[in-house]
Amino acid sequence: MAKEKFDIIQSTCIPIQIDNCNTDLIIPARYLASTTRDPKFFGDAFMHDLRFDAEGNPVADFVMNQPEYAEAPRKGVHEIIVGGQNWGSGSSREHAAWAIAGYGVRVVISSSFADIHRNNLLNCFVLPVIVSKEFQQELFDSIAANPQTEVKVDVPNQTVTNLATGHSEHFDINSYKKYCLMNAYDDIDFLLSNKEKIETYEGKEEDAVEEKDFQEPAPDPLYVEAKDEAPASEPAEEVAPIEVATHHESEPFVPKKLLPINRGLASFFFLSLITLGIYGIVVMTKISCEINTVATKYDGRKTTNYLWILLLWSWLTCGIAPIVWSHCISDRIGNELQRRRIPYSFGAADFWLWNILGAFVGFLPLVYTHKLLSAMNHLNADYNQKG
């Protein structure tokens, strides 16, 4: 990827307001089989399946195809992406960072990044900047009001400024990576920049070894006549205990199968309508399995498969079992959201308020369905990243 020194970057932005934007959205998996490292190849693949439909035609309502943001990045124009929360979640493919760098983006701003993706961005000379959620939303609002809004990222002082409002925030960056970005060094460049110091050090070490190799041999030991007297015992030399510091670096969690994170109410409603409710049953059955995958390890509980509840227990209990089941799974999902510290409100109260009492209004049970799907999207995204 192109190496360019980082100093002060002032540019208009591309707002990609997608929470949990995973690496499969950033670059689809089919591009991973390519053996090229051509930046343009990966840049063209950036957000491909959101930018283009199955026939290769631009999707008009996607932000990168709108006239205000369609221009490819250049100096001062669209060099910065303002992304949603948990940017770069999912698999750890480095190709996602290649795609962002290949498209020409130099800075990605978000309120949180997946750790591996964040490091991949730095290695590809793209600066990930973490800001507060409030500042992130302010940037989205300013850009929506005026697409020509510029943001200034001051790398030496580690500040990011919304020039539309004048508000600034400080961001953190590893000092080594900051030094490399400001000097356009990758890890090899950094080592080469210290070549003279390394050679000087190695020369001193070689001289020390040579001096040891040519030391005069120690004189032969002197033998004295043995006596019956026992030699005076010398006090034993105290040896300080050696402390061995161990560090076990946990490897990143890689799920056997990624759980879905993009279920929405509209598709759920219309597909259920078209299939006479079968699609809804399938989704609820999958959710009953997914919550066991996500939570059983921690809470020791196991939710009964929804299909059994619907086909067997519902008849035997005159419809009471599905109500109890929905209460329990809603409560369990809410507890797991809290345990994982995911800022999304959901629980058994939502089931009773929106699904049971809301049924008297007619359409309010859809609110419960929306909250249920959203809650599982959040849990599945967190599981895909952390386990």
Give domain status of residue 315, yes or no.
yes
CA angle (253, 257, 261) in 5-degree steps = 90
Select the more confidently predicted residue: 13 or 254: 13
* Last residue of one domain, picked from the residues 187, 212, 231: 187
Same structural domain for residues 271 and 377?
yes
Amino acid sitting at position 113: F
Binning pLDDT at 50, 70 and 90, where does residue 241 land? very low
Q: Are 111 and 83 in contact (CB under 8 A)?
A: no
Q: Are 298 and 339 in contact (CB under 8 A)?
A: yes
Task: Out of 255-269, 275-289, 292-306, 367-381, pick the least confident.
Answer: 255-269
What is the per-residue pLDDT across 160-200, written as a single tens digit (0 to 9) for each?
A: 999 999 999 999 999 999 999 999 998 898 889 888 888 88
| pLDDT the model gives residue 352 | 86
- Can you tell me the mean pLDDT for 103-111? 97
Residue 150 pairs in a beta bridge with 12
**Residue 153 belongs to domain with CATH number:** 3.20.19.10
Same structural domain for residues 272 and 181?
no
Binning pLDDT at 50, 70 and 90, where does residue 211 land? low
Closest CA to 155 of 177, 133, 185, 124: 177
In the predicted model, what is the mean pLDDT of the chain?
85
- Can you tell me the mean pLDDT for 32-48? 90
| pLDDT the model gives residue 257 | 78
Give domain status of residue 347, yes or no.
yes
| pLDDT the model gives residue 244 | 39
Closest CA to 164 of 185, 148, 180, 182: 148
Q: Are 104 and 38 in contact (CB under 8 A)?
A: no
* Last residue of one domain, picked from the residues 168, 187, 206: 187
Distance CA 141, CA 233 (A): 84
Please indicate, yes or no, whether the overall pTM of this predicted structure exceeds 0.75.
no
- 331: number of Cβ within 10 Å: 17
Same structural domain for residues 180 and 46?
yes
Q: Is the pLDDT of residue 363 over 90?
A: no
Q: Pairing mode, if any, of strands 150-154 and 159-162?
A: antiparallel
Distance CA 369, CA 283 (A): 11
Same structural domain for residues 372 and 283?
yes
Same structural domain for residues 30 and 166?
yes
Q: Residue 95: CA atoms inside 13 Å, Cβ hemisphere, count? A: 26
Domain that holds residue 284: 265-386
Residue 15 pairs in a beta bridge with 82
Q: Is the pLDDT of residue 240 over 90?
A: no
- Can you tell me the mean pLDDT for 18-27? 94
Q: How many structural domains comprise the chain?
A: 2
Same structural domain for residues 138 and 24?
yes
| pLDDT the model gives residue 49 | 94
The pair of structure tokens assigned to 170 is 């400080």
Helix (H) or strand (E) holding 339: helix 320-339
Give domain status of residue 217, yes or no.
no
185 phi and psi angles, rounded to 5 deg: -105, 135
* Last residue of one domain, picked from the residues 163, 187, 211: 187
Q: Is the pLDDT of residue 83 over 60?
A: yes
Give domain status of residue 243, yes or no.
no
Distance CA 109, CA 138 (A): 12
Same structural domain for residues 17 and 154?
yes
Q: Is the pLDDT of residue 238 over 60?
A: no
* DSSP 8-class letter at 100: H
Percent of the chain with pLDDT over 70: 86
SS3 content of the chain, % helix, strand, coil (to 5): 50, 10, 40
Distance CA 386, CA 252 (A): 8
Give domain status of residue 159, yes or no.
yes
Same structural domain for residues 170 and 280?
no
Give domain status of residue 126, yes or no.
yes
Distance CA 34, CA 225 (A): 81
| pLDDT the model gives residue 316 | 85
Q: Is the pLDDT of residue 362 over 80?
A: no
Q: Are 22 and 89 in contact (CB under 8 A)?
A: yes
Same structural domain for residues 183 and 299?
no
| pLDDT the model gives residue 356 | 80
Q: Are 12 and 153 in contact (CB under 8 A)?
A: no
Same structural domain for residues 172 and 303?
no
Concatenated DSSP letters of 294-333: HHHHHH---PPPHHHIIIIIHHHTTTHHHHHHHHHHHHHH
Reduce the DSSP state of residue 143 to 3 states and report it. helix
Give domain status of residue 214, yes or no.
no
Helix (H) or strand (E) holding 367: helix 365-386
Percent of the chain with pLDDT over 90: 51
Q: Are 115 and 85 in contact (CB under 8 A)?
A: no
Give domain status of residue 201, yes or no.
no
